[in-house]
Amino acid sequence: MLNKAWFYLAGLFGLTGTALGAYGAHGLAGRGISAAAITAFNTGVQYQFYHALVLLFLALAFRYKAVNGLHWAGSFFTLGILMFSGSIYALVLLGTKGIAWLTPLGGLCFMAGWLSLLLVGRTWLRS
């Protein structure tokens, strides 16, 4: 059942990443936002896209062979998108500096997701 969730989340994060990327490319400059903030915003969009694609691949992999570690990876990638990219968006669009501590935690979630994949691969390839 959760593999369906990874498909839906991949679609949701791909859709919102596209919309935010377009807004970053065309809407931020007119708001008087600095070049450094626009670069940070685009970094958030990039990481959101990378990990949306990974969620899609996880959903496909899970349909092939159900492995618990894939759920851990998907959960960490989802949290990473929400915390890393989300905190950058909030900082740039709303000026919310109080949640900047979420950005490195989101980065750690991304790393934990990749570590989960590494561990799944290690055991999956043995079977």
Using the predicted structure, report yes or no on whether residue 1 has a pLDDT greater than 80.
no
Q: Radius of gyration over alpha carbons of the chain, in Å?
A: 16
pLDDT, tens digit (0-9, with 9 covering 90-100), for 24-76: 999 998 888 999 999 999 999 999 999 999 999 999 888 877 777 889 999 99
Record the pTM.
Answer: 0.92
Instruction: Show Cβ contacts of residue 82 under 8 Å, excluding neighbours closer than 6 positions.
Output: 106
pLDDT, tens digit (0-9, with 9 covering 90-100), for 81-109: 999 999 999 999 999 889 999 999 999 99
